[in-house]
């Protein structure tokens, strides 16, 4: 795959239907319930109706794309697991043994893994697209994580997934990630975008103990210092190139591409939300197309969600990644759609109190 330039990322998102939004609001206010009594479910149904330009919003079929890549910073001992696990988990995704694989089957969703560059590449596998950009990123502690070519290629990989969402007539995109060391990269990105210290945004990731978290925090601090000139003056794409990962950039490309092509996105946990933050900084017009599934147990996630002015659907203490939290939250969005589409209005039910 020849990467394009990154200029496409600035193309505005598809417009949101004001007429569909107004019709959905009117319907919600005339369903047999007190106005607002279904809380966030009402908000989600109205927003999805506006995005899909329909009076019957739906989540099905959903398309799940898992971006996998390794990180050079893993060499600094910032994860409780070795880098080889990324490739092993890609094999597990393909065989259907991972959490997201189980949820994809439960949701009847199409699942695809995009392998962008692994230390331990398992080779050709079912449901896995291989785009080898190298054995992971460079070590962001010492140099930019990605070259311009690798960044453009990763973004393009995400855009191609968005095109598949359109081609399969899917109604919702869920992006997941897998990459040992990627909470370090995501935390560094969040620090750069939010101008917050690593102490507020760094967590245990795969299960580091207190000493491990302190070491990880120190690595992030050093990396931020090394790249400080770019982080202070560079555009968001430059920040992403210096501190991000192939899979994080893949998510960024998918989010922007889906919004440009008129497909709603359900964002997963901490790493996926950092990718969403980067995507919105690159192209603010995509913001209405993003739903946020859950609040992760990673301490930095609340800060990222606050910066995005977002209300997550769930808070279950999850921190697995893979798109697993978003896959669970689909059930909540689905409930919102079912209630919106199938409840009776006051006039239909012969109940006093409505205005329809």
The size of the chain, in residues, is 356
Q: Judge contact between 129 and 227, C-beta under 8 A.
A: no
SS3 170: coil
Token representation of residue 96 = 């259907």
Average pLDDT value for the chain: 96
If one counts the domains in the chain, the total is 1
Higher pLDDT, 355 or 140: 140
In a domain, 52, yes or no: no
The H or E element containing residue 67 is: strand 62-69
pTM of the model: 0.97
In a domain, 39, yes or no: no
In a domain, 188, yes or no: yes
In a domain, 34, yes or no: no
State yes or no: is 322 an active-site residue: yes
State pLDDT tens for residues 266-319: 999 999 999 999 999 999 999 999 999 999 999 999 999 999 999 999 999 999
Stretch 165-178: mean pLDDT, rounded? 98
Instruction: Specify the CATH number for the domain of residue 264.
Output: 3.40.50.10210
With b meaning 16 or more CB within 10 Å and e meaning fewer, what string describes 54-87? beebbbeebbbbbbbbbbbbbebebbeeebebbb
In a domain, 91, yes or no: yes
Token representation of residue 44 = 């989600």
In a domain, 82, yes or no: yes
Q: Which range of residues forms the domain containing residue 111? A: 60-332
What CA–CA distance (Å, rounded) separates 69 from 90?
Answer: 10
DSSP 8-state assignment for residue 295: -
The active-site residue out of 177, 247, 298, 322 is 322
In a domain, 50, yes or no: no
Smallest CA-to-CA distance from 296 within 264, 328, 265 is with 328
Smallest CA-to-CA distance from 144 within 194, 72, 86, 78 is with 72
What CA–CA distance (Å, rounded) separates 285 from 205?
Answer: 31
Q: Is the pLDDT of residue 354 over 70?
A: no
In a domain, 284, yes or no: yes
pLDDT for position 199: 95
């Amino acid at each position: 795959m020849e990467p394009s330039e990154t200029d496409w990322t600035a193309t505005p998102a598809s417009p949101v239907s004001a007429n569909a939004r107004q019709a959905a609001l009117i319907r919600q206010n005339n369903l047999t319930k007190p106005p607002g009594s279904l809380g966030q479910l009402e908000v989600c149904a109205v927003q999805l109706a506006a995005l899909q330009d329909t009076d019957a919003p739906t989540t099905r079929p959903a398309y799940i794309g898992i971006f996998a890549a390794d990180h050079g910073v893993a060499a600094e001992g910032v994860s409780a697991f070795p880098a080889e696990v990324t490739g092993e988990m890609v094999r597990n995704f393909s065989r259907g043994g991972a959490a997201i694989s189980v949820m994809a089957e439960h949701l009847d969703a199409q699942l695809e893994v995009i392998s962008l560059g692994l230390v331990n590449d398992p080779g050709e596998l079912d449901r896995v697209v291989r785009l080898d950009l190298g054995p992971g990123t460079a070590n962001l502690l010492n140099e930019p994580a990605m070259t311009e070519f690798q960044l453009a290629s990763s973004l393009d990989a995400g855009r191609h997934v968005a095109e598949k969402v359109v081609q399969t007539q899917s109604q919702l995109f869920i992006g997941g990630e897998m990459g040992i060391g990627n909470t370090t990269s995501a935390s560094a990105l969040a620090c750069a975008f939010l101008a917050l210290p690593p102490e507020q945004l760094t967590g245990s990731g795969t299960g580091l103990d207190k000493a491990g978290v302190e070491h990880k925090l120190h690595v992030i601090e050093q990396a931020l210092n090394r790249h400080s000139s770019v982080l202070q003056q560079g555009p968001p794409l430059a920040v992403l190139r210096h501190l991000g990962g192939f899979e994080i950039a893949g998510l960024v490309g998918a989010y922007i591409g889906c919004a440009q092509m008129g497909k709603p996105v359900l964002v997963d946990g901490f790493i996926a939300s950092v990718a969403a933050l980067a995507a919105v900084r690159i192209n603010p017009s995509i913001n209405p197309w993003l739903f946020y599934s859950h609040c992760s147990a990673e301490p930095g996630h609340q800060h990222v969600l606050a910066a995005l002015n977002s209300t997550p659907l769930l808070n279950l203490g999850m921190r697995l990644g893979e798109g697993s939290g978003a896959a669970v939250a689909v059930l909540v969005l689905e409930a919102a759609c079912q209630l919106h589409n199938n409840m009776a209005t006051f006039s239909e039910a012969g109940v006093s109190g409505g205005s329809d």
